[in-house]
Amino acid sequence: MLLNGLKVLDFSALLPGPFATMMLADLGAEVVHITKPTTGEGRWIVDDYLQRSKKSIAVNLKDSTVIDHLKALMAEYDIVVEQFRPGVMERLGLGYESLKEVNPSLIYCSISGYGQTGPYKDKGGHDINYVSLAGIHGYSGSQQQGPPNLGIQIADLAGGSLHAVVAILAAVIYRTRTGQGQHLDISMTDCALALNALAAPEFLVQGKPLEREQMMLNGGSFYGHFATQDGRYMSVGSIEPKFRQALCMAINRQDLLPLVMSYKPADELAFKQHLKEIFNTKTYAEWVEIFAKIDACVEPVLSFEETVNHPLFLARNMFVDIPQKDGTMQKQLACPIKSDIFQPVYTAVNEHLNHDSEAIVGIRVK
């Protein structure tokens, strides 16, 4: 296992932190998730996925005796991940400055909406707020309908989770070289802002305003989705010249090549209108069959049920059966990181803590 030997205490909840520590667990780290005592409330259905391969213990963090024993445990752990609002861990007696006295090599990762500093540090927020403040929604969507409501959490996952994992692993390498731990401040909004990789330079360097449906990838060209005759959609990403040519051949409209090869904004939009009309002449199944044989960067928009059964993801082993505590199996998304030297070993959700839990006063083992 790539991260075998790394020990993580995870104080996070909801999505960003648990997704990050799930990735670490999938890669072989030993993750112990610190949870609240059970209240009898229903579980979040995604918990079985996010908590797989982790151990968990339920604690009352308002109990000073529990805090003392947790602090004593820190000498045994490499990494702490927390997702409270700034200042909460300090008030509990579990802030970085306090814990590094116990373990100077501790890597302490704080994931928050707006960061540990700045005027927004104490504000609440959700993914839609972070992405909006980061400017992404300012040029996404359509001029008529405005910003899009996305089905995934960009700031939470691509922002908070993935950046946290990168930062933690970089800190592990640094500690290997120097023996020194550190406090990592991961702001989901900062990280979402950094995702403006293609668009930001147009404004920062060229001073060009970023507006909806005015750029190649946000509706200002034929790059996009087109409705079929039966109300399904095909995605068209034929940007490069060879793909533009292949697209025209697939739709049997070589006469449109001069238009699509000009790369002029007006011609791009004119070609887009042609595509709207052309895709509406055949059914989804007919277009899928046509483009299955042609390398033109055109693919169907699948339902998630279709994705689960798609031969690409079946061949890539992107769905796995995970054992549950009751002996049943649950289908889950697999770890997407493929390696020629390891395979993720998935274990049941909320596996019992296997070291001496009696030494931790007030902690109830799940």
Contact yes or no for 111/160 (Cβ under 8 A): yes
Q: Fill in the DSSP letter of residue 355.
A: S
Tokens of 39: 């209240």
The C-alpha angle with vertex 283 and arms to 280 and 286, in degrees rounded to 5, equals 120
Distance from C-alpha of 17 to C-alpha of 237, rounded to nearest angstrom: 33
Asked if 222 and 236 touch (Cβ cutoff 8 Å), the reply is yes
How far apart are the C-alpha atoms of 21 and 16, rounded to whole Å?
9
Annotated catalytic, 78?
Answer: no
Whole-angstrom Cα distance, residue 225 to residue 241? 19
Q: Of the residues 48, 68, 69, 126, which is catalytic?
A: 126
Tell me phi and psi for residue 300, to 5 degrees.
-70, 150
The separation between CA 165 and the C-alpha centre of its own chain, rounded to angstroms, equals 11
Beta strands in the chain (DSSP E): 7-10, 30-35, 55-58, 79-82, 107-112, 182-187, 224-227, 233-236, 298-300, 319-323, 329-333, 364-365
**End-to-end Cα separation, the chain, in angstroms:** 25
Q: Is 255 helix (H, G, I), strand (E, B) or coil?
A: helix
Q: Which of 156, 163, 185, 190 is catalytic?
A: 156
Return the DSSP state at 9: E
* Secondary-structure breakdown of the chain: helix, strand, coil percentages, each rounded to the nearest 5: 40, 15, 45
> For residues 217 and 157, is the Cβ–Cβ distance under 8 A?
no
- Contact between residue 226 and residue 276 where contact means Cβ atoms under 8 Å apart: yes
Clarify whether 156 is annotated catalytic: yes
Query: Which residues are annotated as catalytic?
Result: 126, 156
